């Protein structure tokens, strides 16, 4: 069953690392990603406008081997982007794609 909303609230998004802003109208909880100029082009989450937050890339430090990992525009392997807010944090993990066997 779907709830019918007469008006879908407008959500404004911004990025603490670059000038990107956006507006979405979506009834379901959602997040907004963009290719962030402030994080060397990584696909990073935006935060609701007015939120005090920082968004940081977490560089991958362990051995990469034959996995396909996410690199930023500077060629650094990035394992996650962490959004830290006053009330908690979110982690966006770039899961590496392993080659070879399954199971």
Residues lying near Zn ion in the complex (CB under 5 A) are found at 15, 17-18, 20, 36, 38
Nearer to Zn ion, 36 or 79 (CB): 36
Strand partners, 75: none
Alpha carbon distance 15, 97 (integer Å): 27
Nearer to Zn ion, 36 or 57 (CB): 36
Nearer to Zn ion, 17 or 83 (CB): 17
Asked if residue 59 lies in contact with residue 49, where contact means CB atoms within 8 angstroms, the answer is no
Min. distance of Cβ 39 from Zn ion in angstroms? 6
């Amino acid at each position: 069953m779907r709830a019918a909303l007469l008006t879908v609230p407008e959500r404004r998004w911004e990025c603490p690392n670059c000038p990107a802003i956006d507006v979405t109208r979506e009834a379901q909880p959602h997040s907004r990603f963009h290719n962030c100029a402030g994080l060397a082009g990584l696909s990073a989450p935006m935060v609701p406008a007015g939120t005090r937050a920082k968004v940081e890339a977490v560089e991958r430090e362990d051995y990469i081997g034959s996995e396909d990992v996410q690199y930023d525009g500077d060629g650094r392997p990035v394992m996650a982007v962490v959004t830290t807010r006053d009330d908690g944090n979110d982690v966006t993990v770039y899961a590496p794609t392993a080659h070879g066997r399954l199971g």
